[in-house]
Structure 1
């Protein structure tokens, strides 16, 4: 009895093996190259085919029909063993079974597109590295060091934001202000008295502040995205913000508040109240140059227009457009802070920036009563607006041509 069971078991196993073999052979036969009969796994150019037949068709589909000639009037039977014997009949069988030359071009175009995309990405990376290298060289040439942006990036800044960061660093060029500040310090150390020379240097310092403001506004590409009416309303506020925050930063960097001659001349022109307000701003002014320039960009696009008494207009400003620009700057600033400091320090420094904005706003409000400043800022606004209009005209002419 047991022997019969064993025989049945063996018979069942043999049957299973036989069925499995048949299934495998069935699958193999269903995945055969339609050209030569070799095992095949994929459809190439519209037909299930092996890799050799795929490559053969790809190389010869366009020109093979003209150059190949069959010695047996096209009657050759193509199989895996003789597929190399007659290229003419092999190519004809490719076409007969439905291989399509157009699919070769589609495949090539995809590869070319992928290659172009890879090249564009490589160019973008190279451009970004060049920008960062330029920033590093720029920082090394100046009196004070900033961040070496070629160090490992632990932040979430992407390449476009690094490019924006470099643009903001270059946009406010304080080099001439620093040169005049050094002259003021040297003059104060040698004479220790209020002279006409010191008065001229103090005035020269503030004239350069206004000119630096004009250059900064002209170099800011986001300002060009605003319409002419919006720019007219926005420029007075922006000019005030850049003028005072920039001047106070330079004042703090060179500690001009310790120069008796400079302080006396400033007090004589701008008054005690303005000087006291600036002393309050100095508590919050940022010493990190990169952070200061980022903060300057944010403050420039703040909508504090209502503080300016000299502005009377019935038109409304597109505050949403300003908010979008300011939001971009705020995001870059926060990511840069995360790049350089821990989270707690980031929060503290960002709060300090906000406190600085509030303190400078008080100074701007007070400055509306200073006649000399009002005249200088109006001149700055007029020159800036004229330049922007001329640039608009040049762009329109360039587009038309």
Structure 2
């Protein structure tokens, strides 16, 4: 620990972080928290930036899976559990340190307290579209459903387990192959729990499953791998190339790099993909079924597209909203390329068939 980061840490028995629930052993800045939340708190206390805001009226639940989503609610919870900037110390004199600490706390709290005013003022000044309470609830439900069922905890546990192995034993072909099958199956569960999906007929649910499973699992997995940076590991990268072929992995990595850094946008994008009525063209002896109520499916897809656009206008200026929406379209083409390349291998086709069979066995697509 260096001179600029003296935290007065105290060793405790094995416990959990009071902010996000991850395992924690030390008290940082007045509360038992994990190292991630300790770094987050210090960075935001010392930061002099624009006021924070929450897109969900300050009601975000902070846990290990979604702690990076809302800075406003995470920082608010840090203060609520007893963390204090008085314990952030540096090389300054005691007098200057105390004054600086008070100033940092006031700044951080001001960024939180002013947050509720900023979106309304910005929307009125820019004459942007607003989101109704029902639309905010829809966005919240989509994000919550993804956080609950996507299997991000499984991804983190996989990385931790591999890190405990000897270097030569990490990210072997079999473990990486099983990892992709498991995480893709978990991601698909997100869309099986979607209320709009469940509102459709059994025939249309089954048809959408066959039409969109490659897209939903592809973007969903890409979003999680982007957060843990697994493709930066050479061993994982090499095993992935053996499973899916180098061209498919290259396309998938381009997709990861292209994804919007706003994870809520990516989750909404996945929701749109789960109701796609068109797909890439492949040559198959199997006759694909048509939707019985294509209008209902298109209506849901349009509703999600409208949610994304309104959310972008709410959170960003008009120019940035246009650029980010255009970027989503680019991502659609990238996932298309990635799927087409991956289907050149039997392994990928087997994974997709396994997910479809597993979903059909659960009865989600049945009456």
Is this a same-fold pair by TM over 0.5?
Answer: yes
Quick one: which of 261, 274, 290 aligns to 1:316? Answer: 290
Residue 369, structure 1, aligned to residue 337, structure 2 = no
Distance 1:366 1:267 in 2: 11
TM-score (norm: length of structure 1):
0.58
**1:137 corresponds to which residue?**
61
Q: Structure 2 stretches of 5 or more lacking a match?
A: 1-54, 74-114, 121-128
Q: Once the 2 structures are TM-superposed, how far is the Cα of residue 249 of structure 1 from its aligned partner?
A: 1.5
Superposed, 1:73-222 pairs within 5 Å as: 132=56, 136-138=60-62, 142-146=66-70, 151=116, 153-154=119-120, 156-173=130-147, 176-181=151-156, 183-184=158-159, 187=162, 191-193=166-168, 195=169, 198-222=172-196
Q: Structure 1 stretches of 5 or more lacking a match?
A: 1-130, 393-401
CA contact (8 A) 1:139 1:146 kept: no
Distance 2:256 2:244 in 1: 17
Once the two structures are superposed, residues 7-29 of structure 1 have per-residue CA deviations (whole angstroms, 9 ceiling, x without a partner) of xxxxxxxxxxxxxxxxxxxxxxx
Q: Once the 2 structures are TM-superposed, how far is the Cα of residue 135 of structure 1 from its aligned partner?
A: 5.1
How many pairs align?
261
Which structure carries more relative contact order (alpha carbon 8 Å, separation 6+)? 2
Q: Once the 2 structures are TM-superposed, how far is the Cα of residue 205 of structure 1 from its aligned partner?
A: 2.4
**1:254 corresponds to which residue?**
228
Q: Once the 2 structures are TM-superposed, how far is the Cα of residue 140 of structure 1 from its aligned partner?
A: 7.5
Bigger mean CA deviation after superposition, 313-322 or 355-364 = 313-322
Distance 1:379 1:239 in 2: 11
**1:384 corresponds to which residue?**
359
Distance 1:305 1:192 in 2: 40
Q: How big is the alpha-carbon RMSD for the aligned residues of Structure 1 and Structure 2? A: 3.0
CA contact (8 A) 1:188 1:198 kept: no
Once the two structures are superposed, residues 288-320 of structure 1 have per-residue CA deviations (whole angstroms, 9 ceiling, x without a partner) of 111110111112212233535457326422432
TM-score (norm: length of structure 2):
0.63
**1:347 corresponds to which residue?**
322
Distance 1:322 1:308 in 2: 22
**Match of 2:258, SS?**
coil
Q: Per the alignment, do residues 390 and 333 of structure 1 end up closer, same or farther by CA in structure 2, a change over 3 Å counting?
A: closer
Larger radius of gyration, structure 1 or 2? 1
Higher helix share: 1
Q: Per the alignment, do residues 135 and 383 of structure 1 end up closer, same or farther by CA in structure 2, a change over 3 Å counting?
A: farther
CA contact (8 A) 2:154 2:183 kept: no
CA contact (8 A) 1:183 1:201 kept: no
Q: Once the 2 structures are TM-superposed, how far is the Cα of residue 148 of structure 1 from its aligned partner?
A: 5.0
Distance 2:187 2:284 in 1: 19
